Amino acid sequence: MLTNNLKKYIRSLHQTKYRQKYNKFLVEGPKWLDEIITYHTDEISQLFCTSDWINQNAGRIDESIMLTPVSQKELDGISQLKNPSAGLAVMEMPEITFRPDKVPEDWCVFLDDVQDPGNVGTILRTAAWFGYKKIYLSEKSASIFNPKVVQSSMGSVFKVRTERVEWEVLKSHCELPVVCTSLKGNSVKDWKAPVKGLVVIGNESKGVQKSILEQCDHLIKIPGAESTVESLNASVALGIVLYHLSD
């Protein structure tokens, strides 16, 4: 039964401070639910789903999961989405503390104050597509548990490990060559990439911080046609760089 206290608890997870307080976050929609009951059962705290979805997935839901049937009206009242369907899950937050002894020895990515949740979610999805296992985020980058990050990542929140760390701390534990995107760099078309490195993607409006650029070993740009567009979207830029590295 969906009690008033449960409704209040779920709706509180729409806000950052309560996600941090309870160490929980929400995922919603049929694609997400299919992903988590298939691959992430251990991270599920509770499921709140419509009877139709429950009947369609009978036998797939682990008996250990706390499952509460809800009506469409009840789902509308607790969802973060404009047109919710199927249900939602309350998930345990993965650990995102920086682990200095686990810095990759080949390729990884650092997000320098990338603040748009849609960008961060798409970056996680892009990194997962190219097989990257770790992304570092500065303290001012969007939280991976932001609802827009979760939805746009399409499940990659669980596939790519993210760790919060400031640049100075990461650099002190990482000896990888630093690769920065900048309009002042050399064309990525002519770039001879190193065999390993740390790719830095900068803030949507300010780009990569000057202090990081000064430590950069490879400064590259993605050439485009003459236009009034100032720069590429951060997630698009990363996708191009990672594709180049995979070639």
Supply the pLDDT for residue 173: 96
Q: Which domains does the chain have, with CATH numbers?
A: 4-92 (3.30.1330.30), 100-246 (3.40.1280.10)
This prediction's pTM: 0.90
Question: What are the angstrom distances between the C-alpha of 178 and each of 55, 162, 172, 181, 231?
Answer: 51, 18, 12, 10, 21
Coil, helix or strand at residue 52: helix
Mean pLDDT of the chain: 93
Name the DSSP letter for residue 61: S
- Is the predicted pLDDT of residue 228 greater than 60, yes or no? no
- Is the predicted pLDDT of residue 74 greater than 60, yes or no? yes
Q: Report yes or no: 74 and 18 within 8 Å, Cβ to Cβ.
A: no
SS3 content of the chain, % helix, strand, coil (to 5): 35, 25, 40
Coil, helix or strand at residue 58: coil
Supply the pLDDT for residue 158: 87
Supply the pLDDT for residue 204: 86
Can you tell me the mean pLDDT for 35-60? 94
